[in-house]
Amino acid sequence: MTGDGSARARSYLGPGLLLVLLTAVVSGVSTYLNAFAVQGTSSDAFVTVRNVSVAIMIAPWALAAGRSGFSRLSRSDLLKLVTIGLLGGAVPFLLFFQGLQMASQAHGGLTASFLYRTLFLMAGVLGVLWLRERFRWWMALGAGLLLGGNYLLMSLSSPVWSDGSLYVLAATGMWAVEYAISKRMLTTLSAGTVALGRMGFGAVFLVGFLALSGQMAQVGSFSVSQWSWVGISALMLALFVTTWYSGLKHVDLSVATSVLVLGFPVTWLLSVLLQSARPTEVVTLGALAVVLGVVLMVGLTLWREMAGWIARSLRRGTRPLRRERES
Give the domain extent around 241: 26-301
- On whether residue 244 sits in a domain, the answer given is yes
How many domains is the chain built from?
1
Euclidean distance between CA atoms 61 and 41, whole angstroms: 30
- On whether residue 240 sits in a domain, the answer given is yes
- On whether residue 316 sits in a domain, the answer given is no
List alpha helices for 137-280, DSSP H.
137-154, 163-185, 191-196, 202-212, 216-220, 224-248, 253-260, 263-275
- pLDDT tens for the chain, 327 residues long, are 444 555 555 678 899 999 999 999 999 899 888 877 777 778 899 999 999 999 999 999 988 876 656 667 889 999 999 999 999 999 999 999 888 888 877 777 777 778 888 999 999 999 999 999 988 888 899 999 999 988 887 765 566 778 888 999 999 999 999 999 999 999 999 999 999 999 999 999 999 999 999 999 888 888 898 899 999 999 999 999 999 999 999 999 999 999 999 988 888 788 778 877 677 888 889 889 999 999 999 988 899 999 999 998 888 865 554 554 444
- On whether residue 3 sits in a domain, the answer given is no
- On whether residue 228 sits in a domain, the answer given is yes
- On whether residue 11 sits in a domain, the answer given is no
- On whether residue 70 sits in a domain, the answer given is yes
Quote the pLDDT of residue 59: 94
- On whether residue 209 sits in a domain, the answer given is yes
pTM over the 0.75 mark? yes
